[in-house]
Structure 1
Amino acid sequence: MGTRGGYQQFSDISMKNATAGREPGNLVAGTLCALFGGALLLWAARGPGNDTSGVAHRLSTQLRLPSDVSGLPLSPFEMAFALAAIVVGLLAVLGRPAARAGVLLLASFLLFTSGRLLIDLLPEARRASLGDLTGLALAVDLIGLLVAVLLFALLLRSEESGESRLAKSSTAVIVTGAIVLATGSARLLWYLLLAGIPGPSDANVHRFALLVAVPVVGLLAVLRRRAARGTAYTLTGMVLIVEVGSVFNLPALLSTPLAVTLLMLPILPLLALVIALARAR
């Protein structure tokens, strides 16, 4: 009887989560997120005006080259955001409960980065340095800010899953979450000591946003919040895209197994957390 009662309770929670995932607000937010990511990807596929190479070559180049290379429509961080927005947005449209937290994470990224870059456009010297691109930069950041606000409005008004905590959270989730929280906080502190608050560089703004997100996801896992699953999946995918692209950009002398391992080492706690969350209920 106890087993049947536990099974019934688990089934009720699953039904509530599935119903919440199909809320109209979640569907519209998922569609908007996927469309915005697709628009960014199409912009990246255009490449510089004088680029006559194929679409696949242009996209792979923007993932592999350093973020400070001029003339590229998107940095690797923005490419990772675009790909994540498409995947997570489609999952939200399909009613996957974990996708809601992923979209909220992407909306947070967009709100921070677009708002930060808009602030950088306020000084007249900054606008003068962009020349004819000032209007385009302003329009892109304003659109990004508007999309972020719309995503928050849609998702926060829609019904959330009936159970805000993981129904069955293993010790592995809490332990790996604590490791992600500790290592992520250490990397963020180290970055602040070395570089300080990011300046007007797009790459710095996006890198800072990723660094801030890591300990936040770890804290969600330690607190056994259901949002930890969607945010961890989304963040890990983005970090993998960025870091794997960095491996291809290593100088020949540094492209050794040891150097690559050290570069990929910070990703391991996130991967461990993703595995633990996938096994938890």
Structure 2
Amino acid sequence: MLLLIFGGGVIAWVITGINDSPVSSADDLFRALVDPLRPVDLRALTPYEWMFAVALVTVAVLALCQRRVARGGALVLAFLLLALCLRQAVGALDDGYRAGFDAPTYGPWTLATYAVGLLIAVTVLILLLPAREAAREPAGQLPPHPGEHPGGPRPLGTLGVLGGGLLIALALADLAWTLDNQRLAAEYDLKSWGEYFRDLVDPSLFHSPTSLTSGIYFHEAALAISMLVVGVLACLGRPVARGAGLTLLAMAAYLEYRAVALSFRIGDWSAYLDSTRGTLMLLTMLLSVPALLIAILGLGFAGSARAPRRRPTPAWPHPGPPPFPR
């Protein structure tokens, strides 16, 4: 329910941004959701906030339906929300950035949104981190032998390792391209390395609370690092990694769809083949699509195989051997 509240709040910000925009309409927003070339006012936020809002609402609904997979998704979203709100707290240490929260239009509501988000993130983590997905035995089933798994969460097995390994590979690829893009930005004096790393934890360098969105650099890094951590947990067989991994993979799949759609819309494939860097970008994009699908299937079915169970003990008295003939 808490995640649903914040997800609804983000959606409310998107709707408010569209209503207040002089250049974008609701039709522009709906088209921009699937068309990366469709321009939309930044007041309606960015694709990162859109997918985050959808993920919050989806995981919240699954949690209300008491799906086990929702716990991992809720935890990873709570950690992302906590990082987002703490970043705003760091920005508020700057006098100029803090003054933006007093702006008459969006300032107080922006401050309230991040304050509520921080409270929600901490509450969700406190509630879910100590929790365990309780084992459930089918009716009439005896407890398992030592080493057997009860009816609750099970190690993710080979499929979990497969999904986790692909998560790690996708995360490393994203991090590599993110750092390479920053290398180019530093070479052309667009943003230094110091400015880039500071912007990851301090939005006051390039943004204001009244800009609503804090840019894409934080979201890029946060998603890639989360995928890396969850991928390691999946390889270790942690059941919580299943829901967390599926949530992150769904978010990454949406971004990958936008990247592929953009390439097809532009249609200039020769630009990729003119340089080694372009060729590597094209290969990364082409390999990421099947990797995402396989990882989703792997984590989706991970831990579904039931461990063998012993048969019930025969009823007493035991029939025993037949009597000896006299």
Look up the match of 1:217: 230
Taking a change above 3 Å as real, the CA distance of residues 268 and 138 of structure 1, as seen in their structure-2 partners, is farther
Taking a change above 3 Å as real, the CA distance of residues 191 and 101 of structure 1, as seen in their structure-2 partners, is same
Residue ranges of structure 2 left out of the alignment (5+ in a row): 136-148, 183-195, 204-213, 273-280, 305-326
1: distance between equivalents of 2:218 and 2:228? Answer: 17
Cα deviation code 1:248-278 (max 9, x no counterpart): 5559545659777743643543432221122
1: distance between equivalents of 2:95 and 2:264? Answer: 38
Q: Is the 8 A contact 1:65 1:249 kept in 2?
A: yes
2:285 matches 1:263: yes
Q: Which moved more, 1:113-122 or 1:187-196?
A: 187-196
Q: Is the 8 A contact 1:166 1:225 kept in 2?
A: no
Look up the match of 1:41: 11
Q: Is the 8 A contact 1:76 1:245 kept in 2?
A: no
2:56 matches 1:85: yes
What is the aligned counterpart of 1:137 among 110, 133, 154?
A: 110
The alignment's TM-score, normalised by the length of structure 2, stands at 0.64
Note the C-alpha offset of 1:173. Answer: 2.9
Note the C-alpha offset of 1:69. Answer: 7.2
Look up the match of 1:187: 174
1: distance between equivalents of 2:134 and 2:220? Answer: 31
> What is the DSSP-based 3-state SS (H/G/I as helix, E as strand, rest coil) of the residue aligned with 1:167?
coil
1: distance between equivalents of 2:119 and 2:154? Answer: 35
What is the aligned counterpart of 1:171 among 146, 152, 158?
A: 158
2:279 matches 1:279: no
Note the C-alpha offset of 1:218. Answer: 1.1
Partner AA of 1:266 in structure 2: S
Note the C-alpha offset of 1:128. Answer: 4.9
What is the aligned counterpart of 2:244 among 225, 231, 236?
A: 231
1: distance between equivalents of 2:23 and 2:173? Answer: 43
2:189 matches 1:197: no
Look up the match of 1:151: 124
1: distance between equivalents of 2:56 and 2:21? Answer: 28
1: distance between equivalents of 2:56 and 2:294? Answer: 23
> What is the DSSP-based 3-state SS (H/G/I as helix, E as strand, rest coil) of the residue aligned with 2:237?
coil
> What is the DSSP-based 3-state SS (H/G/I as helix, E as strand, rest coil) of the residue aligned with 1:209?
helix
Note the C-alpha offset of 1:148. Answer: 0.6
Cα deviation code 1:80-100 (max 9, x no counterpart): 010011111001100100111
What is the aligned counterpart of 2:133 among 130, 151, 160?
A: 160
Instruction: Give the 5 Å matches for 1:237-252.
Output: 237-249=250-262
1: distance between equivalents of 2:251 and 2:266? Answer: 27
2: distance between equivalents of 1:248 and 1:171? Answer: 33
Note the C-alpha offset of 1:135. Answer: 3.3
2: distance between equivalents of 1:161 and 1:78? Answer: 33
Structure whose CA Rg is larger: 2
Note the C-alpha offset of 1:34. Answer: 1.7
1: distance between equivalents of 2:68 and 2:255? Answer: 26
1: distance between equivalents of 2:286 and 2:100? Answer: 36
Percent identical residues:
29
Greater helix proportion: 1
Note the C-alpha offset of 1:205. Answer: 1.4
Taking a change above 3 Å as real, the CA distance of residues 206 and 53 of structure 1, as seen in their structure-2 partners, is closer
2: distance between equivalents of 1:251 and 1:125? Answer: 42
Query: Number of matched residues?
Result: 250
Note the C-alpha offset of 1:215. Answer: 1.0
Note the C-alpha offset of 1:114. Answer: 1.4
Taking a change above 3 Å as real, the CA distance of residues 71 and 88 of structure 1, as seen in their structure-2 partners, is same
Q: Which moved more, 1:265-274 or 1:249-258?
A: 249-258
Q: Which moved more, 1:50-59 or 1:113-122?
A: 50-59
2: distance between equivalents of 1:69 and 1:120? Answer: 26
Partner AA of 1:121 in structure 2: A
> What is the DSSP-based 3-state SS (H/G/I as helix, E as strand, rest coil) of the residue aligned with 1:122?
coil
Q: Is the 8 A contact 1:80 1:238 kept in 2?
A: yes
